[in-house]
């Protein structure tokens, strides 16, 4: 798919068929995350690929927002391993950039998705046995929308460019 089409057509899906993403397609999505830029190229990110029934049940205990997705990528960052500027660490920004790259590649290869921040990090950490040095930043739900999945009515609602950008 052409990039212009990807960025215009990608939308958050909240009703999945439950079908898992095949291994080759998933590898393509993960590779896009691997190639994402991070501050000083430190790559302080770890992605947990959740596909098993037990793993998906664990995700369900941490969030109500899986929406039936058959594959979930738990994107975590290491504050310690990230670039620091004073007291600021780039781990959240780096993790989110990685997630956005994977979202766009998912759309590119025909996989519906939504990035979810609404989860209990303590439950997720416990359920997935995420080590203390990593912080869960978001969950990327991947799969295929159901036929009756409503289109998000806000998808095309955007501020004008003049409201968003200011030339100096």
User: What CATH number is attached to the domain comprising 125?
Assistant: 3.40.109.10
CB 107 within 8 A of CB 6: yes
When divided into structural domains, the chain yields a total of 1
Residue 104 lies in a domain: yes
List, in sequence order, every residue forming a beta bridge with 88; answer none if it has no partner: 85
Q: Would you call 145 helix, strand, or coil by DSSP?
A: strand
What is the pTM assigned to this prediction?
0.95
Alpha-carbon Rg for the chain in angstroms: 16
Residue 126 to residue 147: CA distance in whole angstroms: 34
Q: pLDDT tens for residues 52-93?
A: 999 999 999 999 999 999 999 999 999 999 999 999 999 999
Query: Residue 151 pLDDT more than 90?
Result: no
For residue 64, the enclosing domain spans 3-8+17-146
């Amino acid at each position: 798919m052409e990039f212009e089409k990807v960025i215009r057509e990608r939308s958050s899906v909240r009703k999945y068929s439950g079908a898992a993403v095949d291994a080759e397609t998933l590898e393509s999505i993960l590779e896009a995350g691997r190639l994402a830029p991070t501050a000083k190229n430190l790559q302080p990110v770890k992605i947990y690929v959740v596909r098993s029934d037990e793993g998906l049940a664990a995700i369900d205990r941490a969030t109500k927002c899986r929406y039936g997705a058959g594959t979930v990528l738990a994107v975590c960052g290491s504050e310690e391993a990230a670039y620091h500027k004073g007291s600021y660490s780039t781990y959240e920004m780096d993790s989110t950039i990685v997630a956005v790259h994977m979202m766009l590649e998912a759309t590119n290869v025909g996989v519906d998705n939504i990035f979810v921040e609404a989860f209990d990090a303590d439950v997720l950490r416990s359920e997935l046995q995420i080590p203390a040095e990593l912080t869960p930043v978001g969950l990327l739900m991947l799969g295929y929308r159901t036929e009756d999945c409503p289109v998000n009515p806000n998808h095309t609602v955007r501020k004008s460019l003049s409201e968003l950008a200011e030339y100096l």
